[in-house]
Amino acid sequence: MQNQNNQRILISGAGLAGMTTALALAERGFSVLMMEKAPALSEVGAGLQLAPNATRLLARLGIMEDLLPHAVSPDALYLMDGVKAQPLIRMELGSQAEQRWNAPYITCHRADLQAVLLKAVRAHPQITLHLGANVLSHHISEDKVTIRVDLNDQITDYSGQLLLGCDGVWSAQRAGLVANNAATQNDSRARFTDHIAWRTTLPAEKLPQSFLDSLKDTLSVSAWLGQGAHLIAYPIKNGKAFNFVAITDGEDIGTSWDMKGDSAALIRSFSGWSQAVSDVIKAAPQWTFWPMFEMPEPKLVIDKRLVLLGDASHAMTPFAAQGAAMAIEDAASLAAHLSPEQSDHSEALAAFEKQRLARIAKVARRGKLNRFAYHASGPVALGRNMLFKIRKPEDFLRDLDWLYQYDAADITS
């Protein structure tokens, strides 16, 4: 079947990038057709920290009211000495963060964010979402782009004016480019970062006492630092549960997002750390693990009819907790640059790409700095701790202004 409509935008992938982009573009007046290969959007993933640069955009999409009852606005952010279980820094978040950055800093479960986005997508008259729709290939011609889709075992072609590849770190759209262009092969594939992310969730009542005793505020984000690893902890589900992410060195063992981990390996990575950390590791009945990939070179505008967004374009390590935020920023920025009245988007896309590449590179650099500081050992760790001691919490907050104050929909920024 050939279904042609050159006035609409096609989106491959209904993750955070796909759904926020669909909503932002539909609000601008575009008609959006989304394809998601999963037959149902399952509860994949775990917690997410959503900083003010992301929540200000989610508020404009009208989903914060639905999300907030499931989320937590943490009181503080701690950087902890993972071995001594002592705070190195405490930064005030909560209402102070909201006042400073004009939007809240929240933590939530990815599935809760996905559910409220899905509700908004389904309610929007300008968006059509097909589940069980695997985008197999795309073909670009002068006046349109056509995708071939396996929709519940039926092969169907759809056309539109733009294809947005929001299909994640193992993007088929990006892989197609690699296959078509041998010269870009090395910088187009996601690269294993030598790090593994281990994740688990504990009900609030199962949190070990040693962990609770180490933090003044229970409803806080804490990053426990040590040699070659760190552990992040924060509340989700309106404080009823806690999300833990441990980042360690490791080997690439595949490309799924949800593999069951052998916690003996995790215990070995954190041996010699504080009681609080080892109690948390042992308290969880199951840890899942993800080998972490990043895109060596972000690519956004591939052609005047093909754009990559979110992890498909610029998957990054979670050291700055900004991967989803960058996908949400992509959505807002793209919608602000495009206009449904235009038939040729080339200029708008060039401006979009210039703005996004600069921003993404800056955020990725911050992630690298955090990686260096978080996993430091020996004299570097001593120097880090000394610096943390002499700087005031206000200095650390000011240092985040450029990141959290940013408005991706401001096309003059």
Measured CA to CA, the distance from residue 80 to residue 91 in angstroms comes to 12
Report how far residue 105's alpha carbon sits from residue 52's, in angstroms, rounded to the nearest whole number.
5
Task: List, as one string, the DSSP characters of 348-374.
Answer: HHHHHHHHHHHHHHHHHHHHHHHHHHH
**d(Cα 76, Cα 15) in Å, to the nearest integer?**
29
Segment interacting with ligand FAD, rule: CB under 6 A, options 34-42, 97-105, 355-363, 403-411? 34-42
Contacting residue, 9, 17, 241, 335, with ligand FAD by CB under 6 A: 17
Residue of this chain nearest to ligand FAD (CB atom): 15
Contact residue for ligand FAD among 9, 10, 14, 67 (CB under 6 A): 14
For helices 52-60 and 16-27, the axis angle rounded to 10 degrees is: 50
What is the sign of the dihedral through the CA atoms of 213, 217, 221 and 222? negative
**Minimum distance between the CB of residue 208 and ligand FAD, rounded to whole angstroms?**
22
User: Is 324 one of the binding residues for ligand FAD (CB under 6 A)?
Assistant: yes
Asked whether position 81 contacts ligand FAD by CB under 6 A, the answer is: no
Counting contacts by CB under 6 A, is residue 333 touching ligand FAD? no
Rounded to a whole number of angstroms, the minimum distance from the CB of residue 84 to ligand FAD is: 25
Task: Supply the minimum distance, in Å, between the C-beta of residue 311 and ligand FAD.
Answer: 4
Q: Residue 134, interface with ligand FAD (CB under 6 A)? A: yes
| Residue 254 backbone zone (phi > 0: left; psi -120 to 50: alpha; other: beta) | left
In the bound state with ligand FAD, the residue whose beta carbon lies nearer, of 272 and 296, is: 296
Determine which residue in the list 116, 318, 337, 407 makes contact with ligand FAD, applying CB under 6 A: 318
Count of positions on this chain that bind ligand FAD (CB under 6 A): 34
Query: Looking at residue 320, what DSSP letter applies?
Result: G
* Beta strand ranges found along 152-294 (DSSP E): 154-160, 162-165, 191-203, 220-226, 229-236, 241-249, 259-260, 288-294
Of 118, 144, 120, whose CA–CA distance to 131 is shortest?
118
Interstrand relation of 220-226 and 76-81 (parallel, antiparallel or unpaired): parallel
Residues 250-309 that bind ligand FAD (CB under 6 A): 290, 292
Q: Exactly one of 288, 322, 333, 355 binds ligand FAD (CB under 6 A); which one? A: 322
Q: How far is the CB of 14 from ligand FAD (least distance, A)?
A: 5
Contact between 172 and ligand FAD per CB under 6 A:
yes
Look up residue 372 and give its two tokens. 């260096």
Q: Which residues in this chain contact ligand FAD in the complex, by CB under 6 A?
A: 12-18, 35-38, 48-49, 134-135, 166-168, 172, 197, 199, 245, 290, 292, 310-312, 318, 321-325, 327
